[in-house]
Amino acid sequence: MKLRIPDADVLWSALAPERKHELTLTVQPGDLDDLHHVNNTVYLAWCEQVARAHALRQGMGTAALIKLGAVPVARQHIITYHKPALLGDPVRIRTALTVSAGVRSIRAYTLDRATPDGADGERLAECQTEWVWVDPVTGRPKRTPREVLEAFGF
């Protein structure tokens, strides 16, 4: 499966609420690197944070997935950085499940400088993660459970 980052803003408006989630946070001193902007690894951590919040909102946290017999593990991340985030910046992180096919799922993310009025701010980064569903006991690939597909509107 070849990863391709779709037009995130068009995608966001087109998807059902079950397929997307967002959060806003403020850049903290611990997020910064020696150049005084957000370290590249922090963007990935933020993507993970919004993905987990989305899964929990849909009742599909790790414990629920283990009970269903399949958990997602990251296979590949693609991150494109556009502009740096700086100390005190509000950052809006959006995620959307874009594809679920067999044992693989793709989740897209956008990270924007948040604006007080909720309008789109400057794009800081975009990310896409390919996930592979595996059996939590054997580690072998496993199809996405029907309950997961239903919870996320597939």
CA angle 147, 148, 149 (to 5 degrees): 95
Structure confidence at residue 59 (pLDDT): 98
Task: Please determine, for residue 77, whether its predicted confidence score (pLDDT) is greater than 80.
Answer: yes
Exposure b/e, 47-57, CB count within 10 A at least 16 = b: bbebbebbbee
Q: What is the pLDDT of residues 32-62, one digit of tens each?
A: 999 999 999 999 999 999 999 999 999 999 9
Identify the pLDDT of residue 7: 62
* 140 class by beta-carbon count within 10 Å (0-12 exposed, 13-18 middle, 19+ buried): exposed
The pTM score is 0.90
Q: Which residue has the tokens 């037009």?
A: 7
Burial class (CB in 10 A: 0-12, 13-18, 19+), 109: buried
Residue 16: alpha-carbon gap to chain centroid: 16
Domain 8-151 is classified in which CATH homologous superfamily?
Answer: Hotdog Thioesterase (3.10.129.10)
Tokens found for residue 117: 């009025």
pLDDT in tens, 17-40: 999 999 999 999 999 999 999 999
pLDDT over 90 at 80, yes or no: yes
Fill in the amino acid letter for 137: V
